[in-house]
Every structure is written in structure tokens, then in C-alpha cells.
Amino acid sequence: MLYIDAASQLHYDKAANFALTCPHCQVLAHLTPVSVPNFGQLVAFKPSHVGVVYRCDSCNSPVFLKYPVKIYSTNRIELATDFSELERAPEQFNFTYLPEEPELLFREALVCFSIGAYNAFASMCRRVAQAVFAELGDNGKLKMFDQLNDVREIADLDAETFNIMRKVLFATDAEPRPNIPTLEAFQAGVLLEVMKDLLYQSYVRRGQLQQAMMMRRHALEDTHSKITPLTKASS
């Protein structure tokens, strides 16, 4: 139950546990309401949505949420709890090992996802996939398809969700419309995790391993150069 009373106070039975990933500090933090609209003003204009400003308990920054109004009654305004966030925490990804074009496109894809533009996000994922295929060649494309099958198995994706992922990433622009299916929030979330995993497997994992091996080799060479060979030492 969430409502604003006649004294413009916000009441929420789950207020003590109300937490969200803060768009500013990216911490899953408790939110405290600091700015609730005036009851009289709301009643006078009866907007369909009401904005509330919270304070992030972790970094003190303002967090803006918008709620649909359920009912205007005489002494309270009941709000639905399915709020929308005006600013969302950006999705994180380690871009260090990505080539320039996939990096640029995937960064924009994450921006689309963060603002809830899920179909723009899907279109950008198609472009990322095309850039990656061009960069890795046919073999790389086949490998990525195998990886997608792995994800399906590990994450236990149902056939419908898997097919959407497959179409977004592996169908071509030349196929009959709509060759990119329309996505809802959940499917976009799955696509995001799939993309992160595919890019991790194709670039990040390889880059991190190669760098780690190079460090090992350097460390070994350093040790060798400090040890006097046995033959020289004994003579």
C-alpha cells in the first residue's frame, strides 16, 4: 500500500526495505523520500502520474521516481507501486579487450538499455554482432553460435526466448521483415546477459588470459636473468 496523505506525507508499508540500484553510486541502497508533491496541488490538477524524489542513503544523491496514480480519494492519493525510474544505473562492462567498432556500438547499446529503449537496444545488438562477425570471420561466427547454444543450456532458456536471441543476433537484414523481433523488458534483459557473455567469451577471456600468460613469461625471464648459470658459477 502506497499513498500520499492530506498532509503531503508519503506512506508505504514496505518503506523500510525499499532499495534500488542508485544511478549515481551504483550501490543497491535504501531510498528515503525527501520531496513529495503537495496534496492540494495534486488534487487540484489530478495528474495521472506523480513524481517523488528520494535520497540515496549511500551517496545522498537525489533519485527521481514516477508512479501511476490509482485513485484520488478525499484524504489520500493511492499510487501504484510499479514506478518508473527517470535515471537508471548504467550497465557495466569491461571494454578493455574489445576492438574499436564493437566497443563503440556496444556502449551505445548499453545506453539504449539503460533508458529502457529495448528495441533500439536490440537493433544495436544486431550491429554489434555484425561488427564482431566481420572482425572474427566465419569461424568466429560459428563459434559464437555454439556459445549461444551453451548459454541456452546453462541458463535453461526456453525455446521462444532462445529463438528471439538467435534472430536478433544471427538473422540477416536481408531476411523478410521483421528480421529483428520486438522485445519486451524481460527478453531485453536476457539479451543483455547473452551479449555480455558472448563478448566476454570472444574477447575479454582471451585478452585476460593472454595478458596473464605474458606477465608469467616476463616474471620467468626476470628470474632467469638474475640467476648465474651453474656452469659459469663453478668455473
- Beta-carbon neighbour count of residue 189 at 10 Å? 14
Q: Choose, by CB under 5 A, the member of 2, 10, 22, 148 that binds Zn ion.
A: 22
Q: Which of 3, 160, 133 is nearest to 68 (CA)?
A: 3
Contact in structure between 207 and 94 (CB atoms under 8 Å): no
Task: Tell me the per-residue interface mask from 54 to 93 with Zn ion, x by CB under 5 A, - otherwise.
Answer: --x-xx-x--------------------------------
Q: How far is the CB of 199 from Zn ion (least distance, A)?
A: 27
Place of cell 576492438: 99
Q: How many residues sit in the footprint of Zn ion (CB under 5 A)?
A: 7
**Contact letters for Zn ion, residues 109-148 (x by CB under 5 A):** ----------------------------------------
Q: Does 28 bind Zn ion (CB under 5 A)?
A: no
Q: Does 30 bind Zn ion (CB under 5 A)?
A: no
Q: Which is nearer to Zn ion, 54 or 203 (CB)?
A: 54
Ramachandran angles phi, psi of 25, nearest 5°: -105, -5
Q: Where are the alpha helices (DSSP H) in the chain?
A: 39-45, 100-114, 118-154, 159-170, 185-199, 205-226, 230-234
Place of cell 557495466: 92
Determine the 3-state secondary structure of 229 from DSSP. coil
Work out how close the CB of 55 gets to Zn ion at its nearest, in angstroms, rounded to a whole number: 9
Residue 25 binds to Zn ion (criterion: CB under 5 A): yes
CA separation for the pair 202, 162 (Å, rounded):
19
Cis-peptide, bond into residue 178, ω within 30° of zero: yes
Stretch that binds Zn ion, among 10-18, 31-39, 50-58, 210-218 (CB under 5 A): 50-58
**Span near Zn ion by CB under 5 A; candidates 48-56, 82-90, 115-123, 149-157:** 48-56
> Which residue in the set 11, 24, 30, 107 belongs to the binding site for Zn ion (CB under 5 A)?
24
112 and 127 Cβ atoms separated by less than 8 Å: no
Cβ atoms < 10 Å from Cβ of 47: 13
What is the nearest approach in angstroms of Zn ion to the Cβ of residue 17?
A: 17
42 or 53: CB nearest Zn ion: 53
Q: Which amino acid is at 119?
A: N
Closest contact distance (angstroms) between CB of 61 and Zn ion is 5
Coil, helix or strand for 115?
coil
| C-beta of 25 vs 43, nearer to Zn ion | 25
Q: How far is the CB of 24 from Zn ion (least distance, A)?
A: 5
Return residues touching Zn ion (CB under 5 A).
22, 24-25, 56, 58-59, 61
